[in-house]
Amino acid sequence: MDKENVEYIECTCGTEILRMSYAPSDDWPGLNIAFWVHGHGSYRIGFKERVRWIWHILRKGKPYDDMVILDTLKAGQMIAFTRDYIKWANKKIQDIAAEGDVTV
């Protein structure tokens, strides 16, 4: 069994992590993206941002957990991993098509 390809990318603010992965042994290619919230770390939230969060919690019932901020370096890391996945997935799809299992 081939090793799963995994990339962890921490949000620039230090409160969330993206886990991107794909397994070469999978029968059909698929990119898995998990979003993990792990606290607010040492990031100091300003007054205006606190009011925004409070308003969001009052309206929605939970704090934000749907945004990841990536600086240029981390965005490049995500792009590089995604490009590797696309190369692998295209080859996998062509291999499956060559076996006659699917039309591409």
Q: What pLDDT digit, counting tens, does each position of 8-42 carry?
A: 998 887 778 888 998 877 666 688 888 877 655 55
For the chain, what is the domain count? 1
For residue 4, the tally of other CB atoms under 10 A from its CB is 12
Residue by residue, DSSP assigns 40-70 as: -TTPPPPHHHHHHHHHHHHHHSS---S----
Q: Is residue 70 a part of any domain in this protein? A: yes
Q: Is residue 104 a part of any domain in this protein? A: no
Give residue-wise pLDDT tens across range 42-83.
Answer: 556 678 877 887 887 888 776 666 677 888 999 999 999 999
Q: Which domain holds residue 50?
A: 5-98
Q: Phi and psi at residue 9, in whole multiples of 5°?
A: -125, 115
Residue by residue, DSSP assigns 5-31 as: EEEEEE-TTSSEEEEEEE-TT-SS---
Q: Is residue 77 a part of any domain in this protein? A: yes
Q: Is residue 103 a part of any domain in this protein? A: no
* Per-residue confidence band for 84, with pLDDT thresholds at 50, 70 and 90: very high
Whose tokens are 């040492």? That residue is: 42
Q: Is residue 66 a part of any domain in this protein? A: yes
* pTM, entire model: 0.63
